[in-house]
Amino acid sequence: MVAVVVTVMAYETILEGMHLLSHPAHTTGLWLTVTVLLLALATDGYVLIKAMKEIVHESRIEAKGLSIFYIDGITTIVIGVLMVGVAFRVGYDNMVGLIELKRGLSLAEADDIKFHVRDKLLGDPHISDVTLGIIEDNGVTDWDAKEQAD
């Protein structure tokens, strides 16, 4: 229920921000706004620190000062995000590396192209092994989407 409420509030906030960008309003009570913001930050910070101390107490860990922050969790999340980035990059590089051979090439010509590409790849000092394959297409469709739907 909280997630739904926060989502609706976020949506309304974004709409109000877009409205204010298109139709700016004269701001009044700047010091009141800043004071409320600072009080909210102080209150939320206090609650966060109390919650972290309670977690440390409940988990029976001896921690004081800055060690009550669970930096391991944040670091693990950052590493996970970076790993996703690396996975996408490797997938993209592999996709770009695909070679579409022209229809009608003989197997000998396709093999020559494959060996040329392999030698070129192995010339890169960052690549230690390459496996390339050639799949022959006989032009016959073995699978039909309409037949599978029935």
| Average model confidence (pLDDT) across the chain | 81
Residue range 10-34: mean pLDDT, rounded? 86
**8-state DSSP, 103:** T
35-65 residue pLDDT tens: 999 999 999 999 988 988 888 888 888 877 7
Residues 102-145 have pLDDT tens digits of: 777 787 888 888 899 889 989 988 888 888 888 776 677 776 65
CB 111 within 8 A of CB 134: yes
Which pLDDT score is estimated for 145?
A: 58
> Residue 3: which pLDDT band, with cuts at 50, 70 and 90?
confident
Are residues 130 and 122 in contact, defined by beta-carbon separation less than 8 angstroms?
yes
